[in-house]
A and B are shown apart, each in its own frame.
Chain A
Amino acid sequence: MKNTFQKITLLLFVFPLLTGCWDQKLIVDQEVMNGVSFDLQDEKVKSTIVVLNIIPKGTGIFDFQNQITSATGYSIEETYRELRTYYTGPLSASKSRIVLFGESFAKKNLNSYLDFFYRIPDPYLGSKVAIVKGAEASDIFSLEEIGTNPIALGLYEIIDASESNSIVPKGTLNTLFTYFNEPGKDFILPVLEQINGNIRVSGAGLISNNAYSGKMLPIKDCPLLLLLMDDYGELTDLESYLNDEKKLNNQFSYRVKKSKRKLDIKKDASGKPMVNIHLDLKVIIHQYPRTEKISSKQIKKLEETISRDLTKRSQSLMKKTQKANSDVLGIGRKIKETDPIAWKALDWRKTYPSIPINTKVDVTIEKTGILK
């Protein structure tokens, strides 16, 4: 009897503790922001957030409504404090899907602004990050929805799709945190553009020294850059012109099945690095201008055409990254890892634009689809 009594008192004592009285965060009280954007306005930060409200409409049917608010201030914290006052409950970034930067904001040192997301444990680091071209980032949110998705989720999906299509490498707030602090390696961010009321990923923005360089690569070059970076997605499609003639219906496209990249760094007499990149691709012909049998002789010729075309294009791609001073391949990082003494002697920001980078692409066609 005494034992049972003891047990019951102990349970009564323990149960209140189990509920976590101090840290209750009821989901109904929370206002969960789904999307965040930052713009630069008169040397102030303009933050815009989207809070998604889900309205149940009877059995299993839901409607949604975005509540979009903006605030300006000298720091993200300041705008956040102002934004909080618009909402009925505590704001939480624990479910944000997308972080957008206006072009002018992106040209600032992003690292120092985003500290807000990294220093406290609540914000979600799986959000996708993108730069908005041609308009304020906050304008994108006013579109309310993409297809049937609420805007923030729709943007997430768009970027996710472009990652699998090898337009941009997989990237989230978390990978950004890694790259911000990595000497000798820059990265790329997807650039969004609004065209006739629709939003699309229009290219890859080259980031230099944690800030947007203002230079963007068009989508048709992106898969090749990703191959050079050795960071490509599931579907990597490229196309070339037959006989290098740029005319109607003269393109054939191919999908990269396997890619092997070799990055060699040598030093010339003065200690300046020289880079040789060799790309070995195994591809499948995906589309051909004519529905006819491709003979093995033709395949040889196609292989040569692709190799020549891609070598030329990759050469100019590397020039573009050098012009933007954006070492997306991490050549500096490789030097740092393999030759730390040489790395210390280099001022990489000054060196990278002027080093010679040679590229060579070799292509083998493995299949021609299900047609011969």
Chain B
Amino acid sequence: MLTNKNLFFLIIQAQIGIGILGLPYILYNHVQQDGWMSLLIAGVLAQGIIIILVALSRSSPKETFYELNHRLLGNFLAKIVNILYVLYFISFSMLLMILVTDVINTWILHQTPRWAIILMLLIATSYIAKEQIVTISRAFLFFSFLFIVLIFLLILVYPQDIHFGRLQPVGSNSFTDIVKASPDAFVSLIGFELILFIMPYIKNPKTSLKVLSFANLFSLTLYIFLFITCVISFSGVQFSLIHEPLLYLFRGMSFQFVERIDIIFLSFWIVPISTTLVIQLFNASLGVQNIFSFQRKKSVYILAIILLCLGLFPISFSMKESLSSIMIYLNIIFVFIFPALLLIIAKLKGIKG
């Protein structure tokens, strides 16, 4: 059974991943130094969604989301919805893999073909994802020391050449612009939808809302801290040139004995990135298990093979761009709108936990 601690680390590992590398760049190009406001708005939005998700999963704490669908929507409709969800998780994983291979190819392994990186990634992630959720959460707990490393490295930026004035002028963008940029920030906070699928495994379902809110707060604070650190370190035009500000931040750092922290950091950061993939695989495999009544272990392997095949397709730059922009909307539909509808249905049907 998942304790509060396990749940907390599961959620932050699911939330924080690849997005952290490029998030400051995306936000800065929309609303410059006011990006932290967009982040705050996205955080509030995420908090609202967490409340909805927790309410929904608490309406029947012994069932996963897929099983709940069957009860609320009837078998036929539920099957369609479940298939859609599995497809959503597959495409999310797909985008994740494309982004990871992209970053690794440009920063560390220039010659290594895409399929090799994807294969390595899938072997590692499916190895963890096939286990029980408790085992996964323990592994994640161990991986979480990397967040401490990240925070430590970010603090090390401060004695360097920084200028706090770059945060000014505050609020130079209109409020609508700031709100418009928040979906981009919201994507990086995705991951808490996991609660829908692990409710039956939680020890104290009553405290889950509190734990989730803390996890969300943690991720949000980390993102805001990162964003501010990036803004005070980079000048405006420079910011618009750098795709992965976090890595570039570390690229400029040098110490007596360690150089090229960016590459060392990225090599280790693969772990939090793959944990996000693990969660997606876990969610999807539960769905496959529900739809086709396979064993869950087997469905993880099937999904991994499907993802590997998808990863072999050549992906052009424009396809990647459009996939990421579609994903923003899909996230909102599948994580927010649909669960909200379901909650309304649940309330109308008068199901109580």
Q: Which residues of A contact B (CB under 8 A)?
A: 14, 17, 20, 22-23, 94, 118, 121, 124-126, 169-172, 174-175, 177-183, 185, 330, 333-334, 337-338, 340
11 more A-B contacts (CB under 8 A) besides A178-B235, A179-B235? A14-B123, A23-B112, A125-B251, A126-B254, A172-B252, A175-B161, A180-B238, A181-B241, A337-B165, A337-B166, A340-B169
Residue of B234, B236, B260 touching A183 (CB-CB under 8 A): B236
Question: B234: which A residues are within 8 A, CB to CB?
Answer: 178
**C-alpha spacing A169/B252, complex, angstroms:** 16
What are some 6 contacts across the A-B interface (CB < 8 A)? A22-B113, A23-B111, A94-B260, A178-B238, A180-B238, A338-B168
Q: What residues on B are CB-neighbors of A14 within 8 Å?
A: 123
Q: CA separation between A114 and B168, bound complex, in Å? A: 29
Pair A20/B259 contact, Cβ less than 8 Å: no
Cβ contacts under 8 Å, A118 to chain B: 241
Least CB separation from B159: chain A residue: A170
Chain A residues contacting B161 (CB-CB under 8 Å) are 169-171, 175, 178
A22 touches B111 (CB 8 A): yes
Known: A181-B237, A340-B169. A172 touches B112 (CB 8 A): no
Against A, the Cβ 8 Å flags (1 = close, 0 = not) of B236-258 are 11100100000000011110000
Report the Cα distance A41→B108, complex, angstroms. 36
Q: Quick check: B252 and A175 within 8 Å, CB to CB?
A: yes
Of A169, A178, A333, most B-chain CB atoms within 10 Å: A178
Chain A residues with CB below 8 A from B241, complex form? 118, 181
Nearest B-chain residue to A18, judged by Cβ: B120
Q: Which residue of A lies closest to B240 (CB)?
A: A181
B329 part of interface (Cβ distance < 8 Å): no
B260 and A124 contact, CB distance less than 8 A: yes
B109 on interface, CB distance cutoff 8 Å = yes
Task: Say how far A333's CB is from chain B's closest CB, in angstroms.
Answer: 7
Q: Name the B residues within 8 Å of A185 (CB-CB).
A: 235
Decide if A20 touches B112 in the complex (CB within 8 Å): yes
**Interface residue from A94, A121, A124, A182 paired with B235 (Cβ < 8 Å):** A182
Q: List A contacts of B112 (CB < 8 A).
A: 20, 22-23
Q: Are A174 and B252 in contact (CB under 8 A)?
A: yes
Give the shortest distance, in Å, between B107 (CB) and chain A (any CB): 5
B119 contacts A by Cβ under 8 Å: yes
B316 lies within 8 A of chain A by Cβ = no
A171 to B161, CA, bound (A): 8
CB proximity of A77 to chain B, nearest CB, Å: 17
A216 to B252, CA, bound (A): 27
**Chain A proximity mask over B109-129: 1 for CB below 8 Å, otherwise 0:** 111110010011001000000
Chain B minimum-CB-distance residue to A95? B259
User: Interface majority SS on A: helix, strand, loop or mixed?
Assistant: loop
Once bound together, how far apart are the Cα atoms of A182 and B232, in whole Å? 12
A-chain residues with CB within 8 Å of residue B169 when the two chains form the complex: 337-338, 340
* A20 and B109 in contact, given A337-B168, A340-B172 (Cβ under 8 angstroms): yes
**Residue pair B238, A177 in contact (C-beta under 8 Å):** yes
Chain A residues with CB below 8 A from B165, complex form: 333-334, 337
| Cβ of B93 under 8 Å from chain A | no
Nearest residue (CB) in B for A23 is: B109
B56 to chain A, nearest CB (A): 40
> How many angstroms between the C-alpha atoms of A171 and B252 in the bound complex?
11
Minimum Cβ distance to chain B for residue A15 (Å): 12
Q: Would A121 and B107 be within 8 Å (CB), given that A17-B120, A181-B237, A337-B168 are in contact?
A: yes
- Determine if B233 is an interface residue (Cβ-Cβ < 8 Å): yes
In contact, A178 and B233 (Cβ under 8 angstroms)? yes
Cα–Cα, bound, A174→B161 (Å): 10
User: Which residues of chain B come closer than 8 Å to A180, judged between CB atoms?
Assistant: 238
> B106 contacts the other chain (Cβ, under 8 Å)?
yes
Cα A23 to Cα B168 in complex, Å, equals 43
**Which residue of chain B lies nearest to A341 when distances are taken between CB atoms in the complex?**
B169
Closest Cβ of chain B: how far from A275's Cβ, in Å? 15
A177–B160 CA distance with the chains assembled, in angstroms: 14
Contact B119 A126 (CB under 8 A): no
Instruction: Give chain A residues whose Cβ lies under 8 Å from the Cβ of B252.
Output: 125-126, 172, 174-175, 177
A303 to chain B, nearest CB (A): 31
Residue in A closest to B235 when the chains form the complex, CB atoms: A182
Closest residue of chain A to B162 (Cβ to Cβ) is: A178
Question: Given A337-B168, A338-B168, do A182 and B236 touch, yes or no (CB 8 Å)?
Answer: yes
Residues of B within 8 A of A178 (CB): 161, 233-235, 238
Is the pair A181, B236 in contact by a Cβ cutoff of 8 Å?
A: yes
Bound CA span A181–B237, Å:
5
What B residues does A183 contact at CB under 8 A?
A: 236-237
The answer to whether B168 touches A181 (Cβ under 8 A) is: no
- Tell me which residues across on chain B come within 8 A of A20, comparing CB atoms: 109, 112
Neighbouring B residues of A337 by C-beta, 8 Å: 165-166, 168-169
Contacts of B237 in A (CB 8 A): 181-183
Give the docked Cα–Cα distance between A334 and B168 (Å).
Answer: 9
**A181 engages B235 (CB within 8 Å):** yes
Q: How far is the CB of B271 from chain A (nearest CB, A)?
A: 16
- Shortest Cβ gap from A176 to chain B (Å): 10
8 closest A-B pairs by CB: A174-B252, A126-B254, A181-B237, A182-B235, A22-B111, A337-B168, A181-B238, A22-B112
CA distance A334 to B116 in the complex (A): 49
Chain A residues within an 8 Å CB radius of B262: 121
Within 8 A of A (CB), among B82-123: 106-113, 116, 119-120, 123
Chain A positions within 8 Å of B163 at CB level: 330, 333
For the complex, give the distance between the alpha carbons of A185 and B259 in Å. Answer: 28
CB contact between A126 and one of B235, B259, B263 (< 8 Å): that residue? B259
Contact of A23 among B108, B166, B172, B260 (CB under 8 A): B108
Of A118, A125, A171, A183, which is in contact with the most chain B CB atoms at under 10 Å from its CB?
A125
User: Which residues of the partner chain A approach B263 to less than 8 Å between Cβ atoms?
Assistant: 121
State A181–B168 Cα separation when bound (angstroms). Answer: 17
**Distance between A272 CB and nearest chain B CB, rounded to angstroms:** 21
Q: Is the CB of A23 within 8 A of B236?
A: no
How far, in Å, is A277 (CB) from chain B's closest CB? 16
Residues 58 to 92 of chain B near chain A (Cβ within 8 Å): none
In the assembled complex, the CB of B249 is this many whole angstroms from the nearest CB of chain A, namely 10
Do A23 and B259 touch across chains, with their CB atoms under 8 A apart? no
Please give, as numbers and ranges, the residues of chain B lying within 8 Å of A175 by CB-CB distance: 161, 252
Q: Nearest Cβ in chain A — how far from B130, in angstroms?
A: 13
